[in-house]
Amino acid sequence: ALEQVMNIIDYDLAAEVQQHLRAKGVNLYLKDGVSAFEDHDSIVSVRLSSGTLIDADIVILSIGVRPDTAFLKDSGIELAKNGAIKVDAYFTTNDKDIKAVGDAIEFASPLTKLACTVPLAGPANKQARLCADAIIDGNKRPYEGTIATSIAKIFDMTVASTGLTEKGLKAAGLPYRMAVTHAGNHAGYYPNSRQLTLKILYHPESGRLWGGQAVGYDGVDKRIDVISAFIGKEGTVYDLAEFEQAYAPPFSSAKDPVNMVGFIAANTLEGFSDTISWEEAEQQRKNGAFMLDVRSEEEYELGAIEGSVNIPNTVLRQKLLMVPTDRLVIVYCAIGLRGYLAERVLRQNGYTNVRNLTGGYKTYESAVRERYLLENKDKISVKREGGTINHLHEDGSFRKRTENKIFTVDACGLQCPGPIIRLKREIDNLEEGDRIVIKASDPGFGVDVQAWCKLTGNELITVKTTDGIIEAVVGKGNASVCSMPDSVGEKPAICDSDNGATMIVFSNDLDKALASFVLANGAAASGKPVTMFFTFWGLSVLRKKDAPKVKKDFMGTMFGAMLPKGMDKLALSSMNMGGMGAAMMKGRMKKKHVDQVQQMYEEARRSGVRMVACQMSMDIMGIKAEELLDGVEIGGVATYMGAASESKINLFI
């Protein structure tokens, strides 16, 4: 039915199918009938339970399968609640003369000993062979069951599973723990290494393997196959730790991901570590656990668990007094290794209530952030042909332009906003009509590049993802786009004649300086030329932390001693509390993933924001040019008025 909805041209028939699906609990929403289909816009939407409406080109409903055994309803063959055919170890039904094999039979799971149905082609073929032997030779070799090893290709990614899942373990009432790792499919120094995530579930005492799951772009199948083989032979996590794989840099690492999850689980069983899942860690965080982030300060600035405290593992021994002893301490790093090292440091210094987040921040952030994004999805629509903007020709028509020079940019490895910044720098040097083919590994780049092109007037030709690498083809925008008629659509910000933004920064309060740079960076990202004019107390924001000694008169020296020396020393306008308030504000900014003022300043410089120090104010305050940060201009009121006359936005902060 869904496939028909996607291809129906007759609107009445589409609505009828939609009504049929709604009766089955599936909410599908059509948009504008035939016209929407012809325009290549989304013609189907899904409304989440939260009320969020997500537009889509196709919706895939993966809701499970059910045995199609209605033809046996009055046959006397015993069926399970789900309609599966009940059989014994030799595939015999309750009628001794009738056997059954395949997707529609129910048998005992070798792991839980409970009845289960596993609709997979591999087990079905093996069942058929055993069943044939039983028919010819008698019941000599019983069927041991299947552990449900499966794999699927989801666009460019591969997902696989074997054995029991957490849901299955909970349903069976079996105890379990998990181990998660993120690793390359082969040695990182060998080209084209792609990351995969591997998770195992095991008995918390014996270490017996219950199940495993993996997702990635390459090498997922062989890891799941190995784990499947060990589960089938009642293997343990120690078998994974000792597993000997075929190793060479193009194929694996000296310590394969299979070995790594074995090491993690073995360390837990032997008492060297006590791991915790992301879900349990989130609950404990809400209950007051101390979240200790042991990554570097740079990593912490890019994102962290709310309420966490950053103490890099390299300096943890010197800062143990910052870690409480009266409550649970949850340690985490990027993927778990440094978290384990920090956990060992704490335990060897008397801490007993410590747990390490398995899979690290990468697992936690993926689970929590993806859930959040799904509920707060920003919808960005991009025309499929020719990007967001086509080019205006002299005859008034809009046609695709011919290709000019093509440049290649590799932004792989850069995290947001690195790829976009790199794209902007490169495209600024191109001629109109030239194209950039940019590749990035940051998952958010695919959406970011669409929004950026729409804001700046550059042309998004194509964007695609292959093996986890996002490739976008972007054309340098044509100035004639600003001459297009209003009926074509919304023009980019660069088309405004008074597109600029100017700000007078009069204050040296931390919160007001922060607001100034937030506004400046936002305006610059929207394609606006921005000028910030720093005057009187605002000059303190631009002072160097380690400025050279300069000769001043007495009053200049006094002003210099009393004024904050750079961004690090700025105080809050309210609730400063002798500097404690400013420290609290900076900590709060970290927790909320907000850049510090210094980072915003650097970003503003890279974005081309013009920063001008008032010459008259410098003379009065006794501030010399040598004391100011690099890249700051010195100007007067005429400089400000010149910029303000070309600006739609003028702010006094």
Give, in degrees to the nearest 5, the angle at Cα 173 between 170 and 178: 55
Cis omega (within 30 of 0) for bond into 175 = no
Q: Are 388 and 454 in contact (CB under 8 A)?
A: yes
> Could you tell me which residues come within 8 angstroms of residue 595 by beta carbon, excluding any fewer than 6 positions away?
301, 589, 603
**Which pair of tokens denotes residue 540?**
């303190």
Are 505 and 516 spatial neighbours (Cβ–Cβ below 8 Å)?
yes
| CA nearest neighbour of 541 among 572, 573, 507 | 507
| CA–CA gap between residue 313 and residue 581 (Å, rounded) | 27
Helix residue spans in 247-382 (DSSP H) = 257-269, 278-286, 297-301, 337-348, 360-375
Q: Token digits for 408?
A: 């290649």
- Sorted by sequence, the CB contacts under 8 Å of residue 111 that are 6+ apart come out as 147, 163, 164, 172, 210, 211, 231
Strands 275-276, 209-216: pairing is: unpaired
Strand order across the 44-47 sheet: 29-30, 44-47, 53-56
CA angle (380, 384, 386) in 5-degree steps: 110
Total residues found in the chain within this entry: 653
- State the CB neighbour count (10 A cutoff) for residue 72: 18
CA distances from 420 to 411, 465, 471, 525, 595 (A): 9, 16, 12, 10, 17
Map tokens 């000599």 to a residue.
140
The token duo for 354 is: 């410590």
User: Distance between CA atoms of 105 and 248, rounded to whole angstroms?
Assistant: 43
State the DSSP string of 555-616: HHHHHHHHS--SGGG-B-SSS-GGGHHHHHHHHHHHHTTPPPHHHHHHHHHHTT-EEEEEHH
Angle at 215 between CA 212 and CA 220, to 5 degrees: 80
Structure tokens at 276: 């915790």
116 in active site: no
Which residue of the set 116, 412, 416, 482 is catalytic? 416
Cβ distance 127 to 179 under 8 Å? no
Distance CA 98, CA 373 (A): 52
163, 210 in Cβ contact below 8 A? yes
Helix, strand, coil shares of the chain as percentages rounded to 5? 40, 20, 40
Q: Provide the sign of the torsion angle of the four alpha carbons 116, 117, 122, 123, taken in this order.
A: positive
Q: Is there a contact between 368 and 278 (Cβ–Cβ < 8 Å)? A: yes
DSSP-assigned letters across all residues of 266-284: HHHHTTS--EE-HHHHHHH
Two structure tokens written together for 141 = 């070799």
Cα–Cα distance, 592 to 603 (Å, whole number): 18
Residues identified as active-site: 416
